[in-house]
Amino acid sequence: MSTAESFPPLKNDLLLRAARGEKVERAPIWIMRQAGRYLPEFHEVRKNHSFFEICRTPELACELTLQPIDRYGTLLDGSIIFSDILVIPQALGLEVEMIAGRGPVFNDPLVTPDDLSRLKKDVDVDKELGYVYDAITLTRHKLEGRVPLFGFIGAPWTLMAYMIEGGGSKTLSKAKSWLWKYPTETHGLLQKITDVSVDFLVGQVRAGAQLLQVFDSWAGELSPYDFNKFSLPYIQQISTKVRQRLAEANLPDVPMVIFAKGAWFALEDLTDIGYNVVSLDWTIDPAYARKVTKDKVVLQGNMDPSVLYGGDEAIRETATRMVHAFGKDGKHIANLGHGILPTVDPEALKVYLETVQRVSAEIRK
């Protein structure tokens, strides 16, 4: 395997500097789901391969990771490895398929704690998910240092919810019923996912990931009380243990980002659990977030992804307002408040990227 020393030198380190909380010349920008279905070049590749086949083929995962970087050039300051949060449930032994029009579907989701015996006992994460590491290493080379590369995972609560619901769900009532009916088994499952996640994130850094993001996409479905009990302790463990393990292995102490979608109530707690960056969805006002987080973390986000359907003028106006709201003193990584939607015009995203870069440079002069 390649060592960090053998990767091409980084030419644009704006995202890394901003994530560490340094004062930078303008807000860096990248977009959640920037490699995906809104790009015609994505569909060109996708029509010949299933989704998880792409994830498991490092050359294809690399090609898709690079598509937005090739298209937008210097308008993007970061990349994220093409993969999915559901590779961990797969590594634990569950079968997941991506069905057109429906999204992810588990063939045999967990129904009661008896089903936990179907999960693998000792998961050799490096063996099961080595294909992600290979994709990361290859991509670091092919990026040629243009921008840094994110690795990622789904948070334990979000993954547990998928494993029980068996796919998307409006209410998460099946997964939530576990919290109260089977609290002991729930904590056991969350711990198991956490342990695998720690190994997996360390492996991603060893393979070349320069930042890490944890997606707790379903955080906002929990009450504050249940979030504190069933999500927060595990995402905290992840940052603490990953940093310990990176130090022990002499690997770089990479910046970590937490995105707990919908969990506005947790904003203050999220500043104290070992993450450098807290990612905000669009329902949180940037000035409010700055006040609550007391400048302890870098903030990421947060334009409503649907504004990209609103025409160039609305995009410019909203993006400008957002950049001003996060302030000229920095500590902001621009993004959307959630992933870019699949039917957005790629030219609309370009307007957003251009506006953010221009306005944020202007106000910091």
Ligand X SMILES: Cc1c2[nH]c(c1CCC(=O)O)Cc1[nH]c(c(CCC(=O)O)c1C)Cc1[nH]c(c(CCC(=O)O)c1C)Cc1[nH]c(c(C)c1CCC(=O)O)C2
Tell me if 98 contacts ligand X by CB under 6 A. yes
Q: Is 172 in the site for ligand X (CB under 6 A)?
A: no
Residues in contact with ligand X, shown as a per-residue x/- string from 320 to 349 under the rule CB under 6 A: -------------------x----------
Restricted to residues 211-230, the positions that interact with ligand X (CB under 6 A) are: 215, 217
Those residues whose C-beta lies under 8 Å from the C-beta of residue 304, and which sit 6 or more positions away, are 282, 318, 336, 337
By the rule CB under 6 A, 142 interacts with ligand X: no
Could you give the CA distance from residue 353 to residue 265 in angstroms, rounded to a whole number?
A: 29
CB of 294 to ligand X, least distance (A): 27
Helices (H), the chain: 14-19, 40-46, 51-56, 58-72, 87-91, 125-128, 130-143, 156-165, 173-181, 183-207, 224-230, 232-248, 267-270, 286-293, 312-326, 346-363
Q: Which of 46, 56, 146, 290 is catalytic?
A: 46
Neighbours of 317 (CB within 10 A): 14
| Burial annotation 111-125 (CB, 10 A radius, 16+ → b, else e) | eeeeeeeebeeebeb
Nearer to ligand X, 47 or 365 (CB): 47
- Tell me which of 20, 37, 358, 364 is the catalytic residue: 37
Residue 352, token pair as written in the block = 């957003």
The strand pairing partners of 79, in sequence order, are: 149
Q: Is 162 a catalytic residue?
A: yes
User: In Å, how far are 80, 114, 162, 229, 238 from 235, measured between CA atoms?
Assistant: 20, 26, 17, 11, 5
User: Does 45 interact with ligand X (rule: CB under 6 A)?
Assistant: no
Tell me which of 16, 26, 28, 36 binds ligand X, using CB under 6 A: 36
Q: How far apart are CA 89 and CA 155, in angstroms?
A: 12
* Binders in 65-84 for ligand X, by CB under 6 A: 80, 82-84
Question: Known catalytic residue: 37?
Answer: yes
**What φ, ψ does residue 303 adopt, rounded to 5°?**
-65, 140
34 binds ligand X (CB under 6 A): yes
C-alpha 152/C-alpha 299 separation (Å) is 18
Using CB under 6 A, which of 30, 38, 51, 234 touches ligand X? 51
Closest contact distance (angstroms) between CB of 179 and ligand X is 19
Query: What is the footprint of ligand X within residues 99-138 (CB under 6 A)?
Result: 103-104
Active site residue 33: yes
**Does residue 46 belong to the site contacting ligand X (CB under 6 A)?**
yes
Annotated active-site residue 56? The verdict is no
Residue 265 Cβ vs ligand X, minimum distance, rounded to whole Å: 18
Q: Read off the tokens for 276.
A: 């450098």
* The one catalytic residue among 84, 199, 216, 281: 84
> Which CB sits closer to ligand X, 86 or 207?
86
Beta bridge partners of 260: 216
Beta carbon nearer to ligand X, 152 or 234: 152
Is 14 strand, coil or helix?
Answer: helix
Report in angstroms how near the CB of residue 158 gets to ligand X at its nearest: 6
Enumerate binding residues for ligand X (CB under 6 A): 32-37, 46, 51, 80, 82-86, 98, 103-104, 152, 154, 168, 215, 217, 339
Q: Which residues are catalytic?
A: 33, 37, 46, 84, 162
